[in-house]
C-alpha cells in the first residue's frame, strides 16, 4: 500500500486520544474480529476507545476477547472516527449520523472510498488480514488477545482457509497470529464447527424452498420460517455458504425477508463468475464471488427482480467465464455487503 497512507493513519492515531471504531450492521466474524482486534490494540496504547456495532455482537462471537466492550451506539465525544469492513457509509446503520469518517479501512472491491482517508485493499482476504499486515506500521501492537480476534476474522471470511482468494501470505499471517498466542483449533470450531438447533431448523426450511433456474440455484427464508425455527437472528445462519458448494451451479442466491417490505439478498458464485456488479446495480456490493444488498419491496417482487438481473448477468458473463478455478469455494462477505 501507499506509504503516504500508512503515515497518515499513524499520525492520525498518534495525535488522537478519543477514538471511535464502527463497522457494518449484521456483523460477521471479520467485522467483529477487526473491530475488537484494532480496538484492543488502541486501548493498550492508553487511548479512550468506543467500539460500536449498531446490531451488537451475536452470541456466537461473545467468546472473543473484549466482546463485552461492544456497544450499539456512540456514548461520548471522539476526535477520530474509523470505519472498518464496510463498503459504503450506509452499511454502518447511521451510527455516525451521516458524518464522513476520518479513516475508512476495508477489503471489499466495491468500497466507495467514503472516508477522508481510504485504506482499501481488495487483495486481502479479510479486513482482519489487512489489519494484521499493517497495524505495526501504524504504531499498533498485536498481543494474544488482538491476534485471537484478527485470526477469527481471517478464519470466518475464508470459511476456514477454503476460499479461492487465500494466498501463501494469508497462511503466513495466520501462522504469525498463532505464534502470538491465537488458538486456531478453538476459533475454527466455535466459528465454523458448531451450530444451534435453531440454525439447523432454519436451514431445513431454506433447503425445502430450494429452486433452480438454469445454472442458478436460489431459496427463500421468510419471517414465518424464522419464527417457526425459533431463530432469533435476521440472517441466514450461513446457509448461503452451504448452497455455494452445490455442484453443477454457477451462482446461488438467498432471499431473507427482514420485514413485510424489506428483503436481504445474498449471492455466492463459483470462481470465474462475478456477482458484485449485480449487487452494485441495486445499491449493494461485496466481492466478485460473494455480495449482497437490502431491497425495499415484497418478497416475490424482489425475488423476480433479482432473479431477472442475475440471469442477465450470467448470460452476459458466460462467453468470458474463466474455468481455471472451478471447484474452489468462493470468498464470503457481509454485504460488503452480504
CATH of the domain at 55: 3.90.1640.10
Model pTM score: 0.82
The whole-angstrom separation of Cα 295 and Cα 302 is 7
Q: What is the pLDDT of residue 285?
A: 85
Same domain? 155 vs 227: no
Task: Round to whole Å and give the CA distance between 240 and 286.
Answer: 14
Q: Are residues 231 and 94 in the same domain?
A: no
Q: Any idea what the CATH number is for the domain that residue 255 is in? A: 3.10.310.30
For residue 336, being part of any structural domain is answered with: no
Query: Which of 104, 66, 103 is CA-nearest to residue 88?
Result: 104
Q: What proportions of the chain, in percent to the nearest 5, are helix, strand and coil?
A: 40, 20, 40
Any residues with CB less than 8 A from the CB of 325 and at least 6 apart, and which? 164, 271, 272
| Cα gap 286→281, rounded to integer Å | 12
Has residue 330 been placed in a domain? Answer: no
Residue by residue, pLDDT tens for the chain (338 residues) are: 678 899 999 999 999 999 999 999 989 999 999 999 999 999 999 999 999 999 999 888 999 999 999 999 999 999 999 999 999 999 999 999 989 999 999 999 889 999 999 999 999 999 999 999 999 999 999 999 999 999 999 999 998 998 888 999 999 999 999 999 999 999 999 988 788 899 999 999 999 999 999 999 999 999 999 999 999 888 898 899 889 889 989 999 999 999 999 999 999 999 889 999 999 999 988 888 889 999 999 999 999 999 999 999 999 998 765 554 444 445 444 433 44
Tell me how far apart the alpha carbons of residues 140 and 238 are, in angstroms, rounded to a whole number: 32
Last residue of a domain, one of 176, 192, 208: 192
221 and 271 co-located in one domain: yes
Q: Give the whole-angstrom CA distance, residue 88 versus residue 97.
A: 14
Asked if residue 210 and residue 151 are part of one domain, the reply reads no
Q: What is the 3-state secondary structure (H, E, C) of 158-189?
A: CCCCCECCCCHHHHHHHHHHHHCCCCHHHHHH
**DSSP state at residue 163:** B
Where in the sequence is the domain holding 224, given as residue range(s)?
A: 198-325
What is the reported pLDDT for 327?
Answer: 43
Q: Please indicate, yes or no, whether residues 58 and 171 belong to a single structural domain of this protein.
A: yes
The answer to whether position 108 is within a domain reads yes
Cα–Cα distances in angstroms (integers) from residue 248 to residues 224, 244, 268, 284, in the given order:
30, 10, 14, 26
| Claim to verify: residue 102 and residue 247 sit in the same structural domain | no
Distance in angstroms (rounded) separating the CA atoms of residues 278 and 309: 7
Cα 287 from Cα 178, distance rounded (Å): 27
Structurally, the chain folds into a number of domains equal to 2
Q: Are residues 143 and 267 in the same domain?
A: no
Grid cell 501504524 is found at: 138
Q: Which of 192, 207, 238 is the last residue of a domain?
A: 192
Q: Which of 125, 159, 192 is the last residue of a domain?
A: 192
Would 109 be classed as within a structural domain? yes
Phi-psi region of 214 (alpha: psi -120 to 50; beta: other; left: phi over 0): left
Angle, vertex CA 197, rays to CA 192 and CA 199, nearest 5: 60
- For the chain, give the longest Cα–Cα distance: 57
Q: Sort 193 into a burial class: Cβ within 10 Å, 0-12 / 13-18 / 19+.
A: exposed
Does 208 lie in the same domain as 266?
yes
User: What is residue 325's predicted lDDT score, i.e. its pLDDT?
Assistant: 47
Q: Going by DSSP bridges, is the β-strand pair 103-106/290-296 parallel, antiparallel, or unpaired?
A: unpaired
Specify whether the CB–CB gap between 286 and 335 falls below 8 A: yes
Same domain, 110 and 208: no
Amino acid at each position: 500500500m501507499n506509504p503516504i497512507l500508512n503515515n497518515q493513519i499513524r499520525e492520525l492515531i498518534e495525535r488522537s486520544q478519543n477514538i471511535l471504531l464502527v463497522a457494518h450492521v449484521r456483523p460477521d466474524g471479520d467485522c467483529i474480529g477487526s473491530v475488537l482486534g484494532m480496538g484492543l490494540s488502541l486501548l493498550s496504547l492508553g487511548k479512550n476507545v468506543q467500539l460500536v456495532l449498531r446490531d451488537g455482537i451475536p452470541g456466537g462471537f461473545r467468546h472473543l476477547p473484549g466482546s463485552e466492550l461492544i456497544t450499539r451506539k456512540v456514548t461520548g465525544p471522539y476526535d477520530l472516527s474509523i470505519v472498518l469492513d464496510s463498503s459504503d457509509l450506509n452499511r454502518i446503520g447511521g451510527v455516525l449520523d451521516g458524518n464522513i469518517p476520518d479513516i475508512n479501512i476495508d477489503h471489499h472491491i466495491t468500497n466507495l472510498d467514503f472516508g477522508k482517508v481510504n485504506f482499501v485493499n481488495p487483495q486481502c482476504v479479510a479486513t482482519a488480514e489487512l489489519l494484521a499486515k499493517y497495524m505495526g506500521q501504524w504504531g499498533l501492537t498485536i498481543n494474544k488477545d488482538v491476534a485471537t480476534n484478527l485470526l477469527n476474522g481471517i478464519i470466518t471470511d475464508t470459511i476456514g482457509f477454503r476460499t479461492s482468494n487465500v494466498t501463501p501470505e494469508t497462511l503466513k499471517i495466520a501462522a504469525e497470529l498463532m505464534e502470538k498466542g491465537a488458538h486456531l483449533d478453538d476459533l475454527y470450531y466455535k466459528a465454523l464447527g458448531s451450530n444451534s438447533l435453531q440454525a439447523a431448523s432454519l436451514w431445513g426450511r431454506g433447503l425445502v424452498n430450494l429452486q433452480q433456474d438454469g445454472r442458478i440455484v436460489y431459496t427463500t427464508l421468510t419471517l414465518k420460517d424464522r419464527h417457526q425455527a425459533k431463530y432469533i437472528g435476521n440472517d441466514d445462519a450461513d446457509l448461503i455458504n452451504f448452497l455455494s458448494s452445490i455442484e453443477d451451479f454457477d451462482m446461488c442466491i438467498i432471499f431473507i425477508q427482514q420485514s413485510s417490505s424489506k428483503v436481504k439478498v445474498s449471492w455466492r458464485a463459483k470462481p470465474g463468475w462475478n456477482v458484485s456488479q449485480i449487487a452494485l446495480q441495486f445499491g449493494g456490493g461485496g466481492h466478485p464471488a460473494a455480495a449482497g444488498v437490502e431491497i425495499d419491496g415484497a418478497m416475490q417482487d424482489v425475488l423476480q427482480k433479482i432473479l431477472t438481473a442475475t440471469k442477465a448477468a450470467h448470460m452476459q458473463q458466460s462467453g468470458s467465464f474463466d474455468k481455471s478455478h472451478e471447484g474452489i469455494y468462493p470468498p464470503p462477505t457481509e454485504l460488503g455487503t452480504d
